[in-house]
Structure 1
Amino acid sequence: MTTDFPDIDALRAAVGLELGPSDWITVDQRRIDLFAEATGDHQWIHVDPDRAAAGPYGTTIAHGFLTLSLIVPMTQEIMSVSAAKAGINYGLDKVRFLTPVPVNSRIRAHLTLTKVTEVPTGVQIHRHVSVELENAPRPACVADSIARCVF
Structure 2
Amino acid sequence: MAGDRVVAPSAEEVLALKGRSVGPSDWLVVEQDRVDGYARAADDWHWAHNDVERASRGPFGGPIGHAHLTLALVPHLFASLVGFAEGEDAMFYGYNRVRFPTAVPVGSAIRMRADVVDVVDLGGGEQLTVDLTIEIDGVERPACVAQALFRHYPVKAPD
TM-score (norm 2): 0.90
Which runs of at least 4 in structure 1 moved beyond 3 Å after TM superposition? 83-86
Matches within 5 A, 1:2-151: 2-82=5-85, 85-151=88-154
Fraction of identical pairs, as percent: 34
Aligned mates of 1:97, 1:77 — CA distance in 2? 22
The alpha carbon displacement at 1:87 in A equals 2.6
C-alpha RMSD of matched pairs (Å): 1.4
The alpha carbon displacement at 1:83 in A equals 6.8
Are the structure 2 counterparts of residues 79 and 86 from structure 1 closer, same or farther at C-alpha, using a change threshold of 3 Å? closer
What are the superposed Cα offsets for residues 7-39 of structure 1, whole Å, 9 maximum, x if unpaired?
Answer: 222222231111001110000100000000000
- What one-letter code is carried by the residue in structure 1 that aligns with 2:81? I
3-state DSSP of counterpart to 1:72: helix
The alpha carbon displacement at 1:84 in A equals 7.6
Gaps of 5+ in 2: 155-159
**Are the aligned partners of 1:32 and 1:63 in contact in 2 as well (CA < 8 Å)?**
yes
3-state DSSP of counterpart to 1:58: coil
Q: 2:157: which partner in 1?
A: none
Are the structure 2 counterparts of residues 9 and 120 from structure 1 closer, same or farther at C-alpha, using a change threshold of 3 Å? closer
Gaps of 5+ in 1: none
3-state DSSP of counterpart to 1:52: helix
Aligned mates of 2:84, 2:130 — CA distance in 1? 14
- What one-letter code is carried by the residue in structure 1 that aligns with 2:20? L
Aligned mates of 2:152, 2:116 — CA distance in 1? 14
The range that moved more, 111-120 or 57-66, is: 111-120
TM-score (norm 1): 0.95
Higher strand share: 1
The range that moved more, 13-22 or 25-34, is: 13-22
